[in-house]
Every structure is written in structure tokens, then in C-alpha cells.
Structure 1
């Protein structure tokens, strides 16, 4: 998952989270099973960011059967076990190339949706 827009533009915020449900191996994305999105116009606190991400994961067509994965910076470098309290089945930060590629796909999706909503 990825979040776009955690910075102020013209006096307001528009954060968009994208969750990508993908089948991966250690080095690549094998298939994309679905995407979920959520948007918010509040400022980027840790609580708001986690809630937005959880909403995007909840918007997936089917619940993920593996961990929710993100870059550490998405949640202000908070420990994964603290962030993970808001996610099921589990949460972790990127460890493999396949996970990084999935997060990159989510990044592009979040950015594109944010552009559509502006």
C-alpha cells in the first residue's frame, strides 16, 4: 500500500491511499488481484494516515491473504508492530524486491487517483 499527498497544497490536504492485492514472489509481481482506495482531506497525522490506509485495505475486493506491506516512511518510521495493530492479517515493512514492486504499483495508483480528485 502507498499514500500520496501528505503535504499541504494551496492551504489544504488531499491524501489518497491505494492498496494493491498482488500475488508476488521474491523478485516480482506475478498478478494483481485487485485494488482499493481511500481519500481524506485532513492533515497527515499518524492516526489519520493509519486510518486512511486501513480504509483502502478495507476497500479491496477480497481481503488479502498475506501481509499488508508499505515503506517505513508512510507511517513516519513508527515500528511495524505499532502500525500493525490497525491491520489484518498482519503488517510489515518492505523486505523483498517483489514487495517493493507491489508498493511501487500502489504508489502510481495513489498518485493517479489523487490527480483525478484535485
Structure 2
């Protein structure tokens, strides 16, 4: 998952989260099974980010039976165990090349969706 737009522009926030449900191997994405999106105008605090991610994951076309994976910066470098307390299914930070590629796909999706909304 990835979030675009955590910065203030003209006194407002427009954050778009994209969750990508993918089947991955160790080194590559094998299949994109679906995408979910969520939008927020809240200030990007940790609780607001967690709520946004929860909505994006909940928007996936089928429930994810795999962990939510993100870059450390998405959750302000908080330990994974702390973030996982608030998310379902489980949560972890990127560990493999394929997970990094999946997060990159989510980044492109979130950025593109945000640009459409501007």
C-alpha cells in the first residue's frame, strides 16, 4: 500500500491511499488481484493514516488474506507491531524485492488517482 499527498497545499490536504492485492514470488509480482482506494482531507497524523489505510484495504474487491505491506515512512517509522495493532490482516514493512515492486505499483496508483482528483 502507498499514500500520495501527505503535504498541505493551499491550506488543504488531499491524501489518496492505494492498496494493491498481489500474488508475489520472492523477486517479482506474479499477479495483481485487485486495487482499493481511499481519500482523506484530514491532516496526516498517525491515526488518520491508519484510518485511511483501513478504508483502502477494505475497498479491495476481495478480502486480502495476506499482510498489508508498506514502506516505513508511511507510518512515520513506527514499529511494525504498533501499526499491526490497528490493521487487519497482519502488517509488515517491505522485506523482499517483490514486496517493494508491489508497493511501487501502489505508489503509481495512488499518485495517478490523486492527480485525477485535483
- What's the TM-score, normalizing by structure 2? 0.98
Q: How far does residue 86 in structure 1 lie from its aligned partner after superposition?
A: 1.8
Measure, in 2, the Cα distance between the counterparts of 1:3 and 1:104.
Answer: 11
Measure, in 1, the Cα distance between the counterparts of 2:73 and 2:28.
Answer: 22
Taking the TM superposition and a 5 Å limit, the aligned residue runs for 1:1-118 are 1-118=1-118
Q: Unaligned 5+ residue runs, structure 2?
A: none
- What's the TM-score, normalizing by structure 1? 0.98
| 1:21 match: secondary structure | strand
Measure, in 1, the Cα distance between the counterparts of 2:76 and 2:89.
Answer: 21
Give every structure 1 segment of 4 or more consecutive aligned residues whose post-TM-superposition deviation is greater than 2 Å: none
Measure, in 1, the Cα distance between the counterparts of 2:114 and 2:52.
Answer: 14
Cα RMSD between the aligned structures?
0.6
Moved more, 17-26 or 78-87: 78-87
Q: How far does residue 85 in structure 1 lie from its aligned partner after superposition?
A: 1.3
Aligned residues: 118
